[in-house]
Structure 1
Amino acid sequence: MLIAIPCPRFTLPMLVSGFVAVLVGYSSTGAIIYQVAQAAGASPVQVGGWLSMIGIAMGIGSLGLSLFYRMPILAAWSTPGAALLATSFHGISINEAVGVFVFTNALIVLSGITGLFARLMNAIPSSLAAAMLAGILLRFGLQTFADLQSNFTLCGSMCLAWLLARRWLARYAILVTLVAGVAVAMAQGGIHFPPHPVGFTLPDAVMPHFTLTTLIGIGLPYFLVTMASQNAPGIATLQAHGYAPSVSSLMSWTGLIALVLSPFGGFSVCVAAITAAICMGEDVDPDPRRRWVASAIAGVFYLIAGFSGALIGVLFSALPAVLIQALAGLALLATLGGSLQRALAHPAERDSALITFLITASGVALLGIGSAFWGLVGGLIVHLLLVRKSA
């Protein structure tokens, strides 16, 4: 258990990792959050308020949980769940949409209190958890080099800057890469800020309205997708890096934060996987017990985004997509390599780990549930048939 509490030491790599985690989080799925609010029938003022509240929710979750557990626990919204909501909310009232938020988050709290989700996650072999994480991160690594085709100058400059920094300034490689990317993007005229001003909008509470059709048709699928495609990979990411959090407690806290903020647009608070992995690598700090500071810093950046009306999200949206993708891929490269090493470390479990890795990396979605869940299912089946049988 990596829960000993050393004296926290603030370093520049921690600051950069926390910033990059929020950068990747907002830039990759910020537009989906906007679509969810619009699909729910929120007014322009309410949309701004919901964007502010979701940033505050992520900040409270990330900062609070990291400080409490002394682990790099980063909060995130459910991206697969948000995509489901954006396509399912048309034709229902905003009160019904908030009713779905309340219903789903109450189920998450219940799953934490009963401990059912914790028992499931504890039954997953560590090699499969590492393989699933590697499958999730693979597309980020591939995208980094695929972007050479669309913008060779920008992506190539960032790759070169990362390589040179890894040779002489390893702990500051991502900072050097970010600075190089911004400089090249500015020279290309590729940074475009929106013309409209951004400010903090305090959202009004919306009274939830519950209907059986929306709870069963939207709420239950949203709950399953959130748990299978967001929380399960998030817990697996922590376990793959050697951390042993209380799964039931995490589910209870994240669900409770989202439940309290649901009437204000806080539709989802989950355990992050991809962005959290940015705060867990050796580049953040050689001592795993100190890496929680990076996720706590990310929580501060999320709070700034929330209290500035998603200002950071707007700033991030001004950056070219190639810059964000290349930065994410390079920041996660060490984590991807470590995950593959842990997944294939035990010869008896390699077949099941490879199946988990390949299904997860394939991106297949069945019954509205993402590939990370099906990767675990496939890997567990192989594990039960091959590893258990030979044991």
Structure 2
Amino acid sequence: MQNLRSLFSINHLLAGFTAVLIGYASSVIIIIQAASAAGASTELITHWMFALGLVMGVSSIALSWFYKQPVLTAWSTPGAAMLILILGDYTVTTALGAFVVTGLMIMATGFIKPIVSALERVPPALAAAMLGAIVLPFCVDAFAMLATESVVFIAMLIAYIATKRLAPKYTMLALVVVGISSAIIAGAFDSTSLNLSISSAKWLTPEFDLMAILNISLPLYLVSMLSQNLPGISMIKSFGYQPSVKPILTSTGAATAGFAPFGVFAVNLAAISAALVLNEDVDKNKDKRYLAAIWAGVFYIIAGLWAPLVVDIFVALPSYVGVILAGFALLGTLVMCLQTAFQTEADREAALFTFVITLSGVTFIGLNATLIGLLIGLLYKRLFK
């Protein structure tokens, strides 16, 4: 009976719920925009959101239960932001094929230790510069809304500043509420079209294309590893745990590869949101905090089952609200990236090359700006070492 009660601790439940709520509020709109960029219909997006919720939920529950550590998985928000910029050049099935390859690459990383060592040798400044260039346009577009949608933008800006000051954990949730409220007041949100049905999975046979692997799989893999998995491992260690890196990478990679045909683009370790199930507020006894990650997994699955409602809410929002939400959601990431990219003098010029080239959106011999920017930055760093 005591063991049963420990499973239903209100602290664990609330921590898990908060982690999922904040994760969804801060990035669902970006995931939807990425899927739309690939040409996915609203119906197909709901199937993909179901698969993502299910895989994140099951992986969080299984890894946390087996290792008795809070191992929270998540989709890659920076990865999704990158996909918005590049998926328009490929078909849905080709994109799914690229996601399969990304999963296999993550899985291989778990088996081949030198790959992790090689990734750890990528200067943090260059990785941050690449990621910063990916998210900057979203932030700029959000602030550009001041010219055309000034009332809504100012209302959301005030909400952002106020909650950042008073309750920073709930900033994005407050922005979602203000965004929906403004759309309702303006008569631009049709709640009658909301779908309350339970979702399901849908298989699409992936197609494999070499250029898609180079331009989607490889950049997505790098972003997932450098902005999610490696920081996620460091986050878990910072709270006194020793995570089992190999099984975590192999299992999340296998889950990504296996469920990519259902729309799972990348399942990784949660980085920043992981702190919500790792800190002392969850439980003074760190050996019990894994239960919070298990509850997060349960709420992931619930969110996946109700994917039609989640997707319809965000799709029903006016496009300008989505633009503002996406921009504000990525501001924290942008600050962190710019700070890391240009902090060290020895890496500053190489980081600048990476940043500017990635931001340019240039393509060369079929390679996209994300990959070219990182490669030239690495070359510059090597030449002037």
Q: Same fold (TM over 0.5)?
A: yes
Contact preservation (8 Å) 2:131, 2:223: yes
**Does residue 1:230 correspond to 2:220, yes or no?**
yes
Q: Quote the Cα distance in structure 2 between the aligned partners of 1:261 and 1:323.
A: 31
Contact preservation (8 Å) 2:37, 2:88: no
Q: Quote the Cα distance in structure 1 between the aligned partners of 2:178 and 2:101.
A: 46
Contact preservation (8 Å) 2:51, 2:264: no
**Does residue 1:10 correspond to 2:30, yes or no?**
no
Partner SS state of residue 10, structure 1: helix
Deviation at 1:187, TM superposition (A): 0.7
Partner SS state of residue 140, structure 1: helix
Deviation at 1:188, TM superposition (A): 0.8
Deviation at 1:146, TM superposition (A): 1.0
- Code of the residue aligned with 2:266 in structure 1: it is C
Q: Which of residues 80, 87, 91 in structure 2 aligns to 1:87?
A: 91
Partner SS state of residue 189, structure 2: coil
Alpha carbons of structure 1 residues 62 and 12: separation in structure 2 relative to 1, 3 Å: closer
Contact preservation (8 Å) 1:19, 1:297: no
Q: Quote the Cα distance in structure 2 between the aligned partners of 1:36 and 1:102.
A: 17
Partner SS state of residue 160, structure 2: helix
- Cα deviation, 1:14-37, whole Å, max 9, x if unaligned, reads 45422324423443224346x358
Which residue of the partner structure matches residue 74 of structure 2? 74
- TM-score between both structures, scaled by the size of structure 2: 0.71
Structure 1 regions of 5+ residues with no counterpart? 1-6, 39-43, 91-96
Deviation at 1:385, TM superposition (A): 1.1
Partner SS state of residue 15, structure 2: coil
Q: Quote the Cα distance in structure 2 between the aligned partners of 1:340 and 1:226.
A: 24
Alpha carbons of structure 1 residues 339 and 10: separation in structure 2 relative to 1, 3 Å: same
- Cα deviation, 1:213-253, whole Å, max 9, x if unaligned, reads x64xx2x4443334322121122113468548877655522
Alpha carbons of structure 1 residues 20 and 278: separation in structure 2 relative to 1, 3 Å: farther
Contact preservation (8 Å) 2:48, 2:201: yes
Deviation at 1:350, TM superposition (A): 0.9
**Does residue 1:29 correspond to 2:34, yes or no?**
yes
- TM-score between both structures, scaled by the size of structure 1: 0.70
- Cα deviation, 1:169-210, whole Å, max 9, x if unaligned, reads 44443333332222222111121347484533545778x79x
Alpha carbons of structure 1 residues 13 and 304: separation in structure 2 relative to 1, 3 Å: closer
Q: Quote the Cα distance in structure 2 between the aligned partners of 1:52 and 1:301.
A: 12
- Code of the residue aligned with 2:354 in structure 1: it is T
- Code of the residue aligned with 2:304 in structure 1: it is G
Q: CA RMSD in A?
A: 4.5
Which residue of the partner structure matches residue 250 of structure 2? 252
Alpha carbons of structure 1 residues 11 and 47: separation in structure 2 relative to 1, 3 Å: closer
Alpha carbons of structure 1 residues 286 and 73: separation in structure 2 relative to 1, 3 Å: closer
Alpha carbons of structure 1 residues 70 and 366: separation in structure 2 relative to 1, 3 Å: farther
Alpha carbons of structure 1 residues 373 and 101: separation in structure 2 relative to 1, 3 Å: closer
Matched residues, percent identical? 26
Alpha carbons of structure 1 residues 37 and 11: separation in structure 2 relative to 1, 3 Å: closer
Partner SS state of residue 74, structure 1: strand
**Does residue 1:344 correspond to 2:342, yes or no?**
yes
Partner SS state of residue 186, structure 1: helix
Contact preservation (8 Å) 2:195, 2:308: no
Q: Quote the Cα distance in structure 1 between the aligned partners of 2:381 and 2:280.
A: 29
Which residue of the partner structure matches residue 164 of structure 1? 162
Q: Which of residues 116, 126, 129 in structure 1 aligns to 2:127?
A: 129
